[in-house]
Structure 1
Amino acid sequence: MPRRTATMLASTLMLIALLCAGVLIHVPYSEMSPGPTVNTLGEHDGEPVLQISGHRTYPTDGHLNMTTVRVTSADYRMNLVEAVYGWLAHDSKVVPHDTLYPDGKTEEQSTQENAEEFSQSQESAKVAALKELNIPVQSWVIVSTVIKDSPAEGRLHAGDVIKAVDGTAVKQPTDVAKLVTKHKPGQDVVFTIVPAKEQAAAEKEHRQATATKDVTITTKASDDSGSKRAIVGISAGTDHTFPFTVDIKLADVGGPSAGLMFALGIYDKLTPGSLTGGKFVAGTGTIDDDGKVGPIGGVEMKTVGARNKGAQYFLTPADNCASAAKDTPDGLTLVKVRTIDDAVKALEDIRSGRTDDLPSCAAQ
């Protein structure tokens, strides 16, 4: 066999062997890629994403798209070839598996957590939008979860309204822990609550719940290393009563990152005129009840997904600006926002053509 032919054969066999090895060798990485993007002003699966009743709404146009990221499942085992391809590809990102699924989190656990975050983001989006419009929203502190086998199990229930702890009025969820930890483990703490069933009945009848009761719970020591805190085994949260109905209809989406775009969609539908001026605007960002916009993961994939759908502008949380600006898709303008008020003002500039005034993102 000629030397040249033998060399080519050996090289080919070596390449095949390397490819086979690459397919068989699994690496501890996962992949992120652009996911679906949905116009919060439009429809999804045949029904409006935002449905408002009990209050006047106005026609809208243009796009206020929320964006998503696709990720490989928790039990997916990526091989070396896939990892190398992902590292080289422009429209995907390979990250350590533990980044997406920390502490051995299962697919089911991750899905449940994402669903809870998505639900909370919807509530916060409603509150933020209505506050921006100076529409009153009633809020109160509730028992969010009760830990199994904790002192509070069977004594307090999810949805109970916490009016006071040891006679001190509770105004914020953080007040509960502060008041409980004033005790030493083993001491009693008294919760004044409106039971969840009474609160639900009052809301249904559009009246103020007044039937309270005191519940005494004996604290126990926390499992923290070091000094032990007194705990009862609950987490506190916030619930709201809205003056009219706002429903967000969007299935198969999880996580908190659509909060900003939901809030802007609600704001647009409740105000006359077009917030976008017919432009295609996409974006991302968590939002809290006070309208503060927080950072999210996978912003680089979201900008790619938004531009692929035709977005011209992308509302970007300030803390994600540096990452997003490193590789901005051609034709997409990144707009830095810290609050819903920032976003509304930016959209006013976009609508009016004052794009030179937009706060921009810069790579570091």
Structure 2
Amino acid sequence: MPRRTATMLASLLMLIALLCAGVLIPVPYAEMSPGPTYNTLGEHNGECVLQISGHKGCETTGGHLNMTTVRVTGSEYRMNLVEAVYGWLSHDNVVVPHDTLYPDDKTPDEVNQQNAEEFSQSQESAKVAALEALNKKVTSQVIVGAVVKGSPSEGKLHAGDVIKSVDGAAVRAPDDVAKLVTKHKPGEKVTFSIIPAKQAAAAEKSGKRPTGQKQIPITTKKAGGRAIVGIQAGIDYTFPFKIDIKLADVGGPSAGLMFALGIVDRVSKEGDLTGGKFIAGTGTIDDKGVVGPIGGIEMKTIGAREAGARFFLTPKENCAAAAKDVPDGLRLVKVHTIDDALKALKKIRSGDTAGLPRCAAG
């Protein structure tokens, strides 16, 4: 066989071997891509996303307030080298280390559970922020969020119990509980004044303030060099009317802002916030209405534009990353609070968009 032919054959065989290796050898990466968007003012699977008793339903003037999502490869999926290279070269996808999405110290079920809890909490914060923006009364109380198995509180305190005081000191925020407990030395007793969860739930259902406090003494134990009782304190809100958010198969906290704006649209006497415009966005939101950053901003702007959005409400801290590669026809609007977002919506629906706060690339 001539040398040239042999060299070409050897090169071809090596190329085939490399391609086979690229297909067969898994690499520790995962992929993020634009996910679906959901109009918080519309329907999903045949029912209104936002269901608010005593207020308007899904009827709109054609406007959109779409929350955005990111699609990720599953925890069990193992990307091969060819797919990773294709993802790196693709404009619409992002390849990230596998443990960025699925940390080694958590099982896939634990990751899914965390995402579900964050999504649930984002809904509660969205309700509070929206109603506060509308000057609607929202009451709150500190509760036992969870009891650690095998802890001193097991069997004495229960999830949903309302914590009124610790050692006689009034509890007004979840952090107060830890501060009061850690004043003790491990082994000392601390007394919780609580309203049992069943009584609290019955009172809320009847629209009355819960009564019937019980004194529960608990002996602390040592953990991390300090005294603990083994509970996680949380906060429970009472709203002036029932608000249900019907959207399954979505996780994480990043829909908070758009849920809050959707609630304002449904409850506000001003009517449609969008003026018939297609607006999308993202961002966490806390009880005070502060908008926080999220992950996958580049994927979300692409998904929003593909869905038809012309404006994208962008958390201030995500602006620099989002502005590096803005999809054609999409305008980024910087927001830091729900008030910022409401002011921006007012400008958009009036057509006065020249003064909208812009995102600049960092």
Pair in the same fold by TM > 0.5: yes
Instruction: Find 1:246's aligned residue among 236, 243, 246.
Output: 243
Q: Is the 8 A contact 1:57 1:270 kept in 2?
A: no
Match of 1:317 in 2: 315
Match of 2:124 in 1: 123
Instruction: Find 2:335's aligned residue among 323, 337, 357.
Output: 337
Match of 2:35 in 1: 35
| 2: CA distance, partners of 1:13 / 1:349 | 63
Q: How does 1:104-143 map onto structure 2 within 5 Å?
A: 104-143=105-144
Instruction: Find 1:296's aligned residue among 294, 297, 304.
Output: 294
Match of 1:172 in 2: 173
Deviation larger for 77-86 or 58-67: 58-67
Give the deviation of 1:2 after TM superposition: 5.9
Give the deviation of 1:14 after TM superposition: 2.1
| 1: CA distance, partners of 2:55 / 2:94 | 43
Q: Is the 8 A contact 1:44 1:250 kept in 2?
A: yes
Q: Is the 8 A contact 2:42 2:58 kept in 1?
A: no
Q: Is the 8 A contact 1:260 1:286 kept in 2?
A: yes
Q: Is the 8 A contact 1:59 1:273 kept in 2?
A: no
Match of 2:190 in 1: 189
Give the deviation of 1:260 after TM superposition: 0.5
Q: How does 1:77-226 map onto structure 2 within 5 Å?
A: 77-222=78-223, 224=224
**Which 5+ residue runs of structure 2 have no aligned equivalent?**
none
Give the deviation of 1:181 after TM superposition: 1.0
| 2: CA distance, partners of 1:57 / 1:112 | 30
TM-score, normalisation: structure 1 = 0.95
Deviation larger for 22-31 or 297-306: 22-31
| 1: CA distance, partners of 2:234 / 2:292 | 18
Q: Is the 8 A contact 2:312 2:332 kept in 1?
A: yes
| 2: CA distance, partners of 1:329 / 1:104 | 36
* Letter of the structure 2 residue corresponding to residue 87 of structure 1: W
| 2: CA distance, partners of 1:219 / 1:144 | 18
Match of 1:70 in 2: 71
Match of 1:47 in 2: 47
* Letter of the structure 2 residue corresponding to residue 31 of structure 1: E
Q: Is the 8 A contact 2:48 2:57 kept in 1?
A: no
Match of 1:354 in 2: 352
Match of 2:265 in 1: 268
Match of 2:232 in 1: 235
| 1: CA distance, partners of 2:56 / 2:195 | 33
Alpha-carbon RMSD: 1.5
| 1: CA distance, partners of 2:144 / 2:60 | 38
* Letter of the structure 2 residue corresponding to residue 139 of structure 1: S
